[in-house]
């Protein structure tokens, strides 16, 4: 969206305050990103700098990054200020995202409506539109349900090849497992005895098993060490 109409909507999805929200347009100068689970859909949520023409060199870098993020996104959430008539910047954003999978969020609906919804649909396509109000805390549940439906039933497939982990406990366990594996690698490189290295390998296995439900198997671990002849 254009400056100063986006941040509060994003924070309603995160359920916490992340960006600086003020009455001054251009406050968000860079792309802010968070991982969040929205109605069962793990998302890499990117809050871009407000898009507008600017002479400010720093803000311009943020705007350029915003445009690049839009091109890569699987789903675009375009935020319009419904309490103001459509601006030239709004029209540019509607054109920019015309070919993207998008949801148009009509924010600030606690104020009198100034947008011509039917005209927007006629000129820029019949995208999903959701009325929201960050101040009145309305529309967040509808938005979450819409995002879920678009990924589960409307055929949006992520273009990202990576696996996303959003559970804080799983992230912690994966980090512990990674640390243990690195210790194993360092131990092998230092020529430590097998029984010493095995302690850290078992620890990594246990951490991963806490996520997958698999348990440590003495016989399998013995086969692993025999196969690679570690320490021999």
Candidate from 27-41, 145-159, 161-175 with smallest mean pLDDT: 27-41
CATH of 7-152, one of 1.10.10.10, 3.40.50.300, 3.90.1150.10, 3.10.20.30: 3.40.50.300
pLDDT in tens, 169-181: 888 889 999 999 9
**Structure confidence at residue 230 (pLDDT):** 45
Q: How far apart are CA 7 and CA 21, in angstroms?
A: 6
SS3 128: strand
Domain residue spans in the chain? 7-152, 168-228
**Structure confidence at residue 179 (pLDDT):** 94
Any alpha helices (H) in 29-167, and if so which ranges?
57-72, 88-96, 117-124, 140-152
**Structure confidence at residue 113 (pLDDT):** 92
Distances from the Cα of 74 to the Cα of 67, 142, 157, 192, 215, angstroms: 14, 19, 7, 47, 37
> Which 8-state DSSP code applies to residue 125?
-
Average pLDDT over residues 31-35: 69
What DSSP letter does each residue of 149-182 carry, written as one string? HHHHTS-------SPP---HHHHHHHHHHHHHHH
Q: How far apart are CA 36 and CA 219, in angstroms?
A: 39
Tokens (6 digits) for 226: 């025999």
Q: How far apart are CA 6 and CA 13, in angstroms?
A: 12
**Structure confidence at residue 178 (pLDDT):** 93
């Amino acid at each position: 969206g254009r400056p100063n109409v986006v941040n509060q909507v994003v924070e309603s999805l995160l359920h916490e305050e992340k960006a600086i929200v003020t009455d001054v347009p251009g406050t968000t100068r860079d792309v802010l990103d968070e991982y969040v689970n929205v109605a069962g859909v793990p998302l890499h949520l990117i809050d871009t700098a407000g898009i507008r023409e600017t002479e400010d060199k720093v803000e311009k870098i943020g705007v350029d990054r915003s445009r690049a993020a839009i091109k890569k996104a699987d789903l675009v959430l375009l935020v319009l200020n419904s309490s103001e008539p459509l601006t030239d910047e709004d029209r540019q954003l509607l054109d920019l995202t015309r070919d993207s999978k998008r949801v148009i969020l009509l924010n600030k609906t606690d104020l009198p409506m100034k947008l011509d919804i039917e005209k927007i649909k006629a000129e820029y396509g019949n995208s999903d539109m959701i009325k929201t109000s960050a101040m009145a805390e309305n529309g967040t549940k509808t938005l979450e349900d819409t995002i879920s439906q678009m990924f589960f039933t409307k055929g949006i497939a992520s273009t990202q090849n990576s696996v996303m982990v959003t559970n804080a406990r799983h992230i912690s366990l994966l980090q512990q497992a990674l640390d243990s594996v690195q210790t194993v690698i360092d131990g092998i490189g230092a020529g430590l005895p097998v029984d010493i290295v095995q302690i850290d390998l078992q620890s990594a296995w246990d951490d991963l098993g806490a996520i997958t439900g698999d348990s440590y198997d003495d016989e399998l671990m013995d086969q692993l060490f025999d196969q690679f002849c570690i320490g021999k």
